[in-house]
Structure 1
Amino acid sequence: MLDAAVVWMNGRGNTQQWGTTPYSQKPGGVARIERYTTESDPWVAELAGTPVGAVVLDSGPAPQTPIAPAGEPERYVRLLISDRRFAGRGIGAALLAHAAEETRRAGVELLRVDCWAGGGGELVAFYERNGFDPTDPFLAGDWPGQVLARRVR
């Protein structure tokens, strides 16, 4: 799904968000996903037995992400991906709803995520439509990012 997402983004003219190299060929890409599936909380969405999306939750942002600590317990969306062949079916929204429920179930009130803020802010707007509020913009080199937060009770 990650490799296909790079192809899809590039086909739309977006070469900045994840670059042009397939995720599986990026240095550390495969190892990062392996860590996500063994050290974090991954969930895979299926449609008729076919994996169509995934969300990975953790207790905070990745150490290399230039984001201030939350100052309270949190769950953090480390990865949200959906198979673009199934776009428009609400897979990402369903996975975020599941992430909110898992956060609530853990007795935690704060769910955060960071994302690419370039390209007109479409990804930021997606998270806003799903109940997140922008908190802290950041730059990782020349990559514009945005932290968003959602209270779950």
Structure 2
Amino acid sequence: MRIRTGGPDDTADVLELLDGAVAWLVSLGRTGQWGDQPWSGRPATAQRVRDYTHDADTFLVRLAEAEDGTVVGACVVSEQANIHATVVEERELYIRNLVTDRSRKGSGIGAALVADALEEARRRGITLVRVDCYADGDRRLVGQYLKLGFTPTDAFEVEQPNGPWRGQVLEIRL
């Protein structure tokens, strides 16, 4: 696997990964995180991915590729935090989106992309890396970030038409 910087030409690959993750979550009956519709079929989420891949001044898109060049993971980082995160008084690198090919679950793609984000923070002289994730149900996703070395900080809720979406902000200090 190699990790490279992505751009506008990679929008379709990132959307395909996200659509695959939604299908996988739906197959497990876990629709609370990202719903039951593909990202590519929802205008707002598809636009978010286009924004990530087209705005290199704000977002850095890093892609994990298999030996054959297939994109198997994507991580989007920014020095701008998610709107649900508590504002901090220092520079930070915020993981805005992290997704991997679910058929390769357990192969270390996510861990490699997080390690790459930590290296990017070091290159920029940043000592705080944060991420937020879905925290409802059994908190499995929070547990995955804990295994990667993150520490939970703030919890938050976002009102949705079908009830609150609960999230957790986590951080690593370098």
If the TM-score is normalised by the length of the shorter chain, which range does it land in?
over 0.9
Question: Which consecutive residues of structure 1, in runs of 5 or more, have no partner in the other structure?
Answer: none
What is the DSSP-based 3-state SS (H/G/I as helix, E as strand, rest coil) of the residue aligned with 1:131? coil
Q: Does 1:95 align with 2:117?
A: no
**Deviations 1:51-99, CA, capped at 9 Å, x for gaps:** 100101101223xx32221221000000100000111101001100000
Q: Which runs of 4+ in 1 moved over 4 A?
A: none
Aligned to 2:80: 60
Question: Which consecutive residues of structure 2, in runs of 5 or more, have no partner in the other structure?
Answer: 1-16
What letter is aligned with 1:76? Y
**TM-score normalised according to structure 1 size:** 0.95
Aligned to 1:50: 70
**CA distance in structure 2 between the aligned counterparts of 1:115 and 1:71, rounded to whole angstroms:** 22
TM-aligned CA deviation for residue 37 of structure 1: 1.2
Aligned to 2:28: 12
Aligned to 1:114: 132
**CA distance in structure 1 between the aligned counterparts of 2:115 and 2:18, rounded to whole angstroms:** 21
Q: Percent same amino acid at aligned positions?
A: 45
TM-aligned CA deviation for residue 27 of structure 1: 2.7
What is the DSSP-based 3-state SS (H/G/I as helix, E as strand, rest coil) of the residue aligned with 2:115? helix
What is the DSSP-based 3-state SS (H/G/I as helix, E as strand, rest coil) of the residue aligned with 2:149? coil
What is the DSSP-based 3-state SS (H/G/I as helix, E as strand, rest coil) of the residue aligned with 1:66? coil
- Please tell me the root mean square deviation across aligned C-alpha atoms, in Å: 0.9
TM-aligned CA deviation for residue 124 of structure 1: 0.5
Aligned to 2:166: 144
Range that drifts further, 9-18 or 66-75: 66-75
Q: Does 1:79 align with 2:101?
A: no
What is the DSSP-based 3-state SS (H/G/I as helix, E as strand, rest coil) of the residue aligned with 1:28? helix
What letter is aligned with 1:19? G
